[in-house]
A and B are shown apart, each in its own frame.
Chain A
Amino acid sequence: MAFNIYDLTSFTQSIDKALYSVLPPFWAVATEMLIIGVAILAFYAVVGLYLVYAERKVCAFMQNRVGPNRVGPYGFFQTIADLIKLLFKELVHIKSADQLLFNLAPFIVICASFLAIAAIPFAKGLHAIDLNIGIFYVIAVSSTGVIGILLAGWSSNNKYSLIGAMRSGAQIVSYELSVGLSLITMVILSGSMQLSVIVENQANGWYIFKGHLPAIISFLVFLVASTAETNRGPFDLAEAESELTAGFHTEYSGIRFAFFFLAEYMNMFIVASIAATVFWGGWMPLHIGGWAAFNHIMDFIPPFIWYIGKTAVVIWIMMWFKWTFPRLRIDQLLSLEWKYLLPINLVNVLLMAFIVLMGWHF
């Protein structure tokens, strides 16, 4: 099994061949799916936990304090301790809640984000499902998360949860439009919805540089809209503690609450990785045309590290403006989308189409 860190295709192919040679085809495919499922599950859990830790450290840094520093070196095991605590918490049984939907809602939210991770290219060859409608698939499945939120609010049988869930649902559905339109702008530039093709096309320059003005506008709109999609940052009215309605996850306790919490961080991760893939080149290193020595150094860093690095920068930006800005009110939030972002997006799509037709991109 050749393990080339720059091109994991050979590694995955060799596992594939080994399985096919040992097992009948059906069982080989099933085993592959199992391996991928477990790998993504492990990735999901670990990244989710450590994003929470990262948020706490970043927040502390912005607020002129230290953050967790007791449990483990630099507080590294703080989230593990929190997870163990949540596992032991009593699952408060709500008599008047709709039992099936109440228990189902966290799972739907997790499944939606899980499905989306499957389609993202982590490195060359490390791509679970390479659909030819990649972007479309990712947007579509991440929208199904809103079902989980509405179910949570409805089945809690609590008027404040319902109000919070409806607000959250309205917010997510509105900002879907902006997310979709800004990604469509980049699809126009790339000519394909397949995520691996999009990344390959950025080998000689990331789309944000290739598509100059409309790509930059698209990136900024995507950043704002996806923060609102994931109920984060200045758009977290639906779950803010200092507002009146306590949000759709009031009645959840223990591990079920942990699912919502984890799903929120993983949604942030997914959105950041889509931004990194579509705008910043995915696992492609930074190449500046003509500087051969520079490009050679950049090539030295493995693609997986590039991918994680870019995603981390986008996540840092999202955390930065969560901890700086005050919250928007729900009507201001919706008017931002419908009156400002949507028109900007539509004009931007036209602009990008015009530039592609004219050949004025790099």
Chain B
Amino acid sequence: MTAKDELLSTFAQKKEHGLKDMKFFFGNVKESTVEDVCAEVNRLYAEEKKGNVKTIESWADSNRPT
């Protein structure tokens, strides 16, 4: 399976679970390949699956009264 196919498969699975939109913030991709960039998105999801993730519920920077 190519990285493109893997990303498309992930996208389709997430759509089945209610995904409405997915957007990317790329770095410097101009000297890369589409396969490399898709692989990088896949790596992100692979890291999440491995548990290499820190969930941030709050940035503790609110100016609202508590």
Q: Do A and B bind each other?
A: no
A residues in contact (CB < 8 Å) with B? none
B residues in contact (CB < 8 Å) with A? none
